[in-house]
């Protein structure tokens, strides 16, 4: 099992537009072979002191059955289309690809 945590920093004032496009792509991703879990999340204020809140960051939580499934996902037509749609809304991306220790 492969887990992915992608932190996407969107331009100020563009989070809702970004999320609308992202949510439109979610069903396509969830239908991909090897997709176990895929959803966007935003910071929730927990009141825990060490938490850092950033309203410009959308965190994407993913689980894939294999590294091969993840690679197929990244090269899929709908992901290429999605990236083209959001390219002017995104300031940066940080990616963590993880396997169980």
Q: Where are the domains of the chain?
A: 2-42+54-99
Mean pLDDT of 67-93: 97
Provide the token pair at 1. 């099992």
Give pLDDT tens digits for 27-53: 999 999 999 999 999 999 999 989 999
| 2-42+54-99: CATH topology | Alpha-Beta Plaits (3.30.70)
State percent of the chain over pLDDT 70: 100
Mean pLDDT of 59-71: 98
Provide the token pair at 18. 């970004």
> How far is residue 65's CA from residue 50's CA, in Å, rounded to a whole number?
32
pTM score: 0.93
pLDDT band at 23 (very low <50, low <70, confident <90, very high): very high
Q: What are phi and psi of 94, to 5 degrees?
A: -120, 130
């Amino acid at each position: 099992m492969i887990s992915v945590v992608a932190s996407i920093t969107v331009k100020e004032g563009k989070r809702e537009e970004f999320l609308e496009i992202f949510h439109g792509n979610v069903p396509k991703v969830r239908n991909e072979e090897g997709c176990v879990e895929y959803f966007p999340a935003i910071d929730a204020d927990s009141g825990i002191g060490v938490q850092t809140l950033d309203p410009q960051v959308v965190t994407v939580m993913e689980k894939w059955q294999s590294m091969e499934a993840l690679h197929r996902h990244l090269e899929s037509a709908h992901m290429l289309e999605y990236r083209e749609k959001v390219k002017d809304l995104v300031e940066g991306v940080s990616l963590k690809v993880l396997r169980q220790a």
